[in-house]
Amino acid sequence: MNVKPFTISYTRSPVDVQFVNQCDVLEDENLTDDNKVQKTVKNRDKNNEGKKKEEKYVNYKVEPKRRTTKSPMSPPNELLLKNGETKNETKKNGIISNDEESLKEDATEERETWGKKTEFLLSVIGFAVDLGNVWRFPYICYRNGGGAFLIPYFIMLIFLGLPLFYMELALGQYQRCGAISIWNRLCPMFTGLGYGICFVATFVGMYYNTVIAWAVYYLFASFRSEVPWSHCNNTWNTANCVSVVDGYNVSHVTNDSMLAATEFYLFRVLEDQKAYGIERIGSPKWQMVLCLIAVFVIVYFSLWKGIKSSGKAVWVTATVPYVVLLILLVRGCTLPGAKDGIIYYLRPQWDKLLKVEVWLDAASQIFFSLGPGFGTLLALSSYNKFHNNCYIDAVATATINCFTSVLAGFVVFSVLGYMAHTTQKDIDKVAMEGPGLVFMVYPEALATLDGSVFWSILFFVMLITLGMDSTFGGLEAVITAIMDTFKIVKGRREWLVLGVIIYCFLGSLPSTTNGGQYIVSLLDRHAAPIPLICICFCEAIAVNWFYGVQHFSNDVQSMLGFQPGIFWKICWAFICPICLIVLFVLSIYYYDGIELNGYVYPQWSLAIGWTISCTSLICIPIYIVYLLIVTPGTFKQKILRMIRPSSIPSHVDQDKSRHLYDKYEISSSNVGTTVNTPVSYNAEAISMYSPYQVDNIQDKNDSV
């Protein structure tokens, strides 16, 4: 067996002696350097034990270093090069070296952390508790069996929503980076997920802030002696207008009749009469544009200083909604018919549990309510202290979110019962979901109360603060991801935030037109729901199958001091991916177009909607192809580098943990390379995954 001469310079931690135990080691006393020991490693021929043993020489430098936990047989990380060669390599005298700093993330700038734990919790709660808790959950609950719907709802919380919520909080806290760069530390092949998340967040920001602008318009309109939607004697009212305040006469109501609040929303706020569906949406309304500017100005000054500014803003935006909800609940329960509304809300219809659509709605509601996949949980938790108990945070915030949804149901249906009693209609004829509930039905009820101006101001302040929190979280995900990935924006956060705000504002302008509600409905259906399900599925697979559920559990243990239980591991690795892929398939299967107030969207508009959905998803395969092209090596080596972490968090290296890193340097007369890798690698494993041909280091048939 002919073996080419080579040298391995091996820097390792004194903790792990696995490599040394594989060899017979002899110490050479002639070395003068106290830190170096010349060792003769006798290579054993397992098939011919009696044959003469070959001798190879290894320079063994004893120096404590840290490494990350990996499987002993994992291939080395991607060789990063410096100075334009390959991402992590430096060439000196014909030998390519890879020092430890090339693999570690730059640790020169300490990452800021939350000033108080409460600020983080309020930010997460504020993001999770949004307008959907008020205008979607109550309607979904009563439509799918009332109290019986709570069974599939909480089952989906336990097996789908909470595990994903916990996983993202733990990922962000351990890796301490945004939604793009985090994948270099997990599985570089899935970096496209981060870019897809940024697209989703900005698409949502383009229409979600318009809804907040509508609430701002209502808020300013409420500052007068009487709310303007109380009567039917305004310039925007039609002959079909009826008002509860003026006396609702059932005998005068026809199929064409509209409540005064409905006409105010359609013909004054939106001026929908000047548009014709999505085909002709008209021009932007200057009043709505000003309201939108006001919203984005508030968002900018809440985000421009990072968590230092947003952490202060959430003290108001996250707490005000709960105060208002409790006040509205007390007032609503005193109204006539409120009891009937609450009974209708909670009355169980057990036969509904046999329908697939009910379980699909439960999964969708809990998934979009908690908000995994937006990148917000990754971003917000990345500013936590390393040993923060994110497990308690996940359970607490998810519980508060679900409690808020149920509480909002009582607030909404107490008023719906009152409206049904006043208009002498069945509750299901009054109930609506989405903007129609908060901009048409609820304002009509508020107009009939004593002190309607006060109640109206209170209600729309609640809507604005509910929406603001979610906007803070969604845009923070984009800003954090960009800042952690592109060093050119380091130290320029104010300008980056301004750029993101301007981009979202320009994208929001079509939704401020006379036909803005058609744009909002299209984006609401296509910008986030389907892409996020697919993104979360890929995320669960990348973390628990490529990075490894046990590897991830070890990371959690290094933060919390205990391993996640078997329940969490099973949910992460099996239950969540299965639920997500089923939810994704069924969401596409049950898609039957979009209809809004009797208007059916044309096919070309649906094609635009699907294009928006695919814009986020196409980032995943595009980045895989890109990485496959730029990664050096054979096809097998490319794939291995694409699925293995290419960097490690610098803060983990500084943490007092068991995670240690070792360094090998292999060189021959022609070529050499340095590989950062766990101590249990032997030279054969290193050469196997080297970017150079194996025979540059040793003969292909030889083993070391």
128 is in an annotated binding site: yes
Residue 286, number of CB atoms within 10 A of its CB: 9
In angstroms, what CA-CA distances link 183 with 177, 190, 561, 667? 10, 6, 24, 31
Q: How many degrees, rounded to 5, is the angle at CA 399 between CA 142 and CA 212? A: 65
Residue 470 annotated in ligand binding: yes
Four-residue CA torsion sign, 476, 477, 483, 489: negative
Task: Tell me if 37 is assigned to a ligand binding site.
Answer: no
* 129 annotated as belonging to a binding site for a ligand: yes
Say whether 311 counts as a known binding-site residue.
no
- Taking the C-alpha atoms of residue 679 and residue 19, their distance in angstroms, rounded to an integer, is 6
Q: Annotation-wise, does 126 bind a ligand?
A: yes
* DSSP notation for 82-95: STTSSTB-EEETTE
Per-residue HEC secondary structure of 350-402 comes to: HHHHHCHHHHHHHHHHHHHHHCCCCCHHHHHHCCCCCCCCHHHHHHHHHHHHH
Distance between CA atoms of residues 129 and 123, nearest Å: 10
CB 493 within 8 A of CB 464: no
Alpha carbon distances (Å) from 196 to 20, 203, 210, 344, 623: 46, 11, 22, 41, 10
Q: What tokens does 674 get?
A: 């340095």
Number of alpha carbons in the 13 Å side-chain half-sphere of residue 449: 23
Give the angle subtended at the CA of 425 by the CAs of 423 and 430, to the nearest 5°: 90
Q: Is 542 marked as a binding-site residue?
A: no
Q: What are the angstrom distances between the C-alpha of 112 and each of 103, 301, 308?
A: 22, 18, 9
Count Cβ neighbours within 10 Å for each residue of 455-467 and write b for 16 or more, e otherwise.
bbbbbbbbbbbbb
Q: Which amino acid appears at position 64 of this protein?
A: P
For residue 272, give the DSSP letter: G
CA separation for the pair 621, 627 (Å, rounded): 10
Helices of type H across 85-191: 100-103, 117-128, 131-135, 137-143, 150-156, 162-175
Residue 256: phi, psi to the nearest 5?
-90, -5
3-state secondary structure 6-40: CEEEEEECCCCCHHHHCCCCCEECCCCCCCEEEEE
Any known ligand binding at 587?
no
**Interatomic CA distance for residues 681 and 689, integer angstroms:** 11
Q: Which region holds residue 513: left if phi is over 0, alpha if psi is between -120 and 50, else beta?
A: beta
Q: Is 466 annotated as a binding residue?
A: yes
Tokens found for residue 609 = 């909607």
**Which residues make Cβ contacts (< 8 Å) with residue 33, sequence separation at least 6?**
none
Helix (H) or strand (E) holding 42: strand 36-43
Residue with tokens 């398939």: 585
Task: Give the DSSP letter string of 517-579.
Answer: HHHHHHHHHHTSHHHHHHHHHHHHHIIIIIIIHHHHHHHHHHHHSSPPPHHHHHIIIIIHHHH
- Which residues contribute to the annotated binding site for Na(+)? 126, 128-129, 133, 369, 401, 466, 469-470
- Which residues contribute to the annotated binding site? 126, 128-129, 133, 369, 401, 466, 469-470
